Amino acid sequence: MLNGLTFGRGRRRGRQQRPSASDSPANDPPSSQEIMKRIDWPPPSAADYAFEGDAAIVRPYTWTRGRTRSAVDMRIEAMVSTSELGEDIEGMPQVEHRSIARLCTEPRSVAEVATTLGVPLGVAKVLLGDMAGLGLVVVHKTATGGANKAHLVLMERVLSGLRRL
């Protein structure tokens, strides 16, 4: 006996017989397999397999080739904008770089980019780091006080950005 449980030992009852098929009531509900056989399903069409875009079928970490860290260290509040080199959006070979370049024509925070693209923050940081390394985006310096203390203006900007999300 453990914690008041006997695990089937102790009082034993006589074995009960299982009910046979003839003992069951005649009004048993049909099984799900019987129901599925009765329904006349139309063949699937191409629209059943349509996605909103090719990117919808690609997992975000595939875009970064599995990398979770960027060579460029960026904070989530860092402002990023498309550089002059990055303005040639159609000339970029990677779809995700084109999406970010279009998005960052006006300065945006790393957090805004991640949210707008619908990707995890780490993925956005890696993609933006790659683009910064190629000179396609400019990472603007954040306003911080001495000894790495955040400036009040920066904190208000972050709070404002979070409220907009």
| Token duo for residue 39 | 């329904």
Summarised one tens digit per residue, pLDDT across range 77-92 is 889 998 887 777 777 7
- Whole-structure pTM value: 0.51
Residue boundaries of the structural domains of the chain? 56-164
The arithmetic mean of pLDDT across residues 22-48, rounded, is 62
Residue 73 clears pLDDT 70, i.e. is over it: yes
Residue 143 clears pLDDT 60, i.e. is over it: no
The arithmetic mean of pLDDT across residues 69-80, rounded, is 81
The answer to whether 80 touches 108, Cβ cutoff 8 Å, is yes
pLDDT at 147: 46
Is 120 buried (19+), middle (13-18) or exposed (0-12) by CB count in 10 A?
middle
Rounded distance between C-alpha atoms, residue 19 and residue 32, angstroms: 22
